[in-house]
Structure 1
């Protein structure tokens, strides 16, 4: 099973990495990609039954990113993890704003009272009734109010409300 988990995460990282494989990528986006990929090296993932992840509600409004302005918000929230190093934060924003939306990987935001609070990447494998959740981030400004477990629960509830059949979830071990 661990090999399958690693394959899903590798596929996601390759998908993101290819976002800047263009004729003239910005130097900042290439540096951002290096920083991002380096940050992924030490994250371990596990698989859980969906029921175990639906217990904690975060009370966030879930929005699927479906246009560029939301991609920018997604990028800013993700980059907040690098806020202690402003140059790195800008590189991550430059890298992630290059994301071209597609059907294989969905970006989601969590909002509280109209303000973006959290972000993650989701891949649904309908054949295996599986959701792969990665890059789960709560904006540093909201970490004392919301947590990743609640956001994951809100995302999964949202996905189930769309009549998706999900039995298992791959997610970072710390969730």
Structure 2
């Protein structure tokens, strides 16, 4: 079976790589980008469907990352994808370099006042990609799928005829 790699996946990765393409990037952020690339190697992109099964409380738990403190929270959740402390620190350094700009938006999910979920949403040429999904056990979202659906609805990124995609671990699907 041939795996489809949508253009929006390449757009997201180019955007992320550009975040540290500055005159003097830190060594940690460069190593963090390499760690992130290793995580990407274990991902696949699958088609995603939109559902209306989202509660108002779940929508209220989704926040657009639009200032630095939220970026740090996003980075700390993303770092949980790594298994060792050095890799986690490098991922934090990589993700905290992000400058808010199109075509990507960072989102956090909160439950009981704590950040419990993170995802990156990329929009390009009628395609929408949900990627980099991390979710901790919580009382608001029963599954990663419920967080993803709340994020899509809250973001209002899905237009008629949009092609929806999800980046997920190859051996451990997020949807089930």
- Fold conserved (TM > 0.5)? yes
In structure 2, list runs of 5 or more residues that go unmatched.
Answer: none
Trace 1:30-45 onto structure 2 (pairs within 5 A): 30-45=30-45
In structure 1, list runs of 5 or more residues that go unmatched.
Answer: none
Structure 2 equivalent of residue 21 of structure 1: 21
> RMSD between aligned alpha carbons?
2.4
Q: Aligned pair 1:136/2:133, yes or no?
A: yes
> How far apart, in 2, do the equivalents of 1:59 and 1:120 lie?
15
SS at match of 2:147: helix
What number of residue pairs does the alignment pair up?
A: 165
Q: Aligned pair 1:95/2:90, yes or no?
A: no
- Contact kept, 8 Å, 1:121 with 1:135, in 2: the verdict is yes
SS at match of 1:81: coil
> How far apart, in 2, do the equivalents of 1:13 and 1:144 lie?
32
Q: Deviations over 1:32-79 (max 9, x none)?
A: 10000111012111123323xx44668361100111111111000110
The alignment's TM-score, normalised by the length of structure 1, stands at 0.82
> How far apart, in 2, do the equivalents of 1:157 and 1:116 lie?
19
Shift of 1:165: 2.0
Shift of 1:28: 0.7
The alignment's TM-score, normalised by the length of structure 2, stands at 0.82
Trace 1:89-168 onto structure 2 (pairs within 5 A): 89-125=88-124, 127-128=125-126, 130-139=127-136, 142=137, 146=141, 147-160=143-156, 165-166=159-160, 167-168=162-163
